[in-house]
Amino acid sequence: MQKIKILYVFPTMMQSNGIVTLFFNYLERFNPEEFEISIIAGDNEPSEAYIKYMKEKGYKFYLCPKIKSKNLFKIRRFFARFFKENHDFDIVHSNNNILGYFASKFAKKYNINVRIIHSHSTIHATNKIKSMIIEWFSKRAIKLSTNYFACSIKAGEFMFKDKEFFEMNNAIIVERYKDLKANKDVNKEKFGFKKDDFIIGFIGRLESQKNVLFLPHVLKALKVSKPNAKLVIVGSGSDLEPLKEEVKSLDLVNDVVILEALPGIFEILPTFDCFIMSSIFEGLPMVAVEAQTALIPCVLSTNITEETKFTNAVKFVSLEDDYSKWVDAILEVTNMNNCYNDKYKFNIDVQAKILIEKYKELIEINKNS
């Protein structure tokens, strides 16, 4: 049987990248006798763990120049050479608008009939100039692609407007999270907390999009009613040092723990009494799905789509609201009886079968185009 050859294009292979984690979860359910996987990623300090994983799985892996305006000609040259030497793919699935433009451009040149561009967000960038550049590439990537995917309806409507798109859910391996809360006290002590410490936590990249400098202010307000409250932030990025300065300025050094890297979230997640996310924009954050699967109450900014919610102990609060509103939401969800509202939407075993069938359908539809 001839294998289905898929090339995935990612912006980065950094450890904390949720998009890469998402696809690796899906690919775990792909039969290696049926699929051959290749991956291109921007050269942003690729994770050694990811590289080791890809080698073990037999994936072909290529690094392209880092996504920067000064590297655009280098990126173009990379894709031109790559597809000249490697053009027997059935599907090219791009997860970045800039890299996706070049991937689709040269994939089309070499008659690769299924060219997917995937929307993972509801805004291009907070910086106006950067947003305009990404939008320029986005419009052209859309024209060069044959099919459109999105992580949520909101993300799809933002990028593709009235065009038809396939919603690929940010699914996870549900079994990994089911019993995490049973280890709450043990894990709290492991990380140096007391059993009665009330912990709000965030996991993700420390970049402007995530708005992590907002979180210490929420903690400051929360400590008025819960003096035993602590904030745990797991991640790294350009906002790391500004975050440390913000914590210091609010006199919260003894109440905020910043962990720059962890091998996985399964140990730290159960220490959280509440997961909090104050993003300026998102597509559909995987980490919020993971927290809910572990039945951790969540307080999320209203900039995050409500499609994220599938347990009842979730509240959405505006960044325009006072910190006291965030405190009220935290206290409310942590006093609720939490349960699932939908067992299948984010279940990787269910969603992987749907994705595989979608790929096969697209190959069949586009084979004579």
What are the domain boundaries of the chain? 4-171+347-366, 174-333
Pairwise CA distance, residues 65 & 44, whole Å: 9
What integer is the mean pLDDT of 91-114? 97
Is 174-333 a CATH 3.30.1490.20 domain?
A: no
What integer is the mean pLDDT of 300-316? 94
The pLDDT confidence band at residue 198, using thresholds 50, 70 and 90, is very high
- 186 pLDDT above the threshold of 90: no
- 367 pLDDT above the threshold of 70: yes
Burial 108-127 (b: 16+ CB within 10 A, else e): beeebbbbbbbbbbbbbbee
Q: Using alpha carbons, select from 287, 267, 268 the residue that is nearest to residue 277.
A: 287
Query: Which segments of 208-250 does DSSP mark as H helices, in order?
Result: 215-222, 240-249
What SS3 state is found at 39?
strand
The pLDDT confidence band at residue 172, using thresholds 50, 70 and 90, is confident
Pairwise CA distance, residues 148 & 354, whole Å: 15
What number does CATH give the domain 4-171+347-366? 3.40.50.2000
Q: What is the DSSP letter of 127?
A: S
Specify the pTM.
0.83
Q: Which residues pair with 40 in a beta bridge?
A: 9, 62
The pLDDT confidence band at residue 343, using thresholds 50, 70 and 90, is confident
Pairwise CA distance, residues 322 & 329, whole Å: 11
- Mean of the per-residue pLDDT values of the chain: 92
The pLDDT confidence band at residue 366, using thresholds 50, 70 and 90, is confident
- 365 pLDDT above the threshold of 70: yes
The residue to which tokens 């997917």 are assigned: 116
Domains 4-171+347-366 and 174-333 share a fold: yes
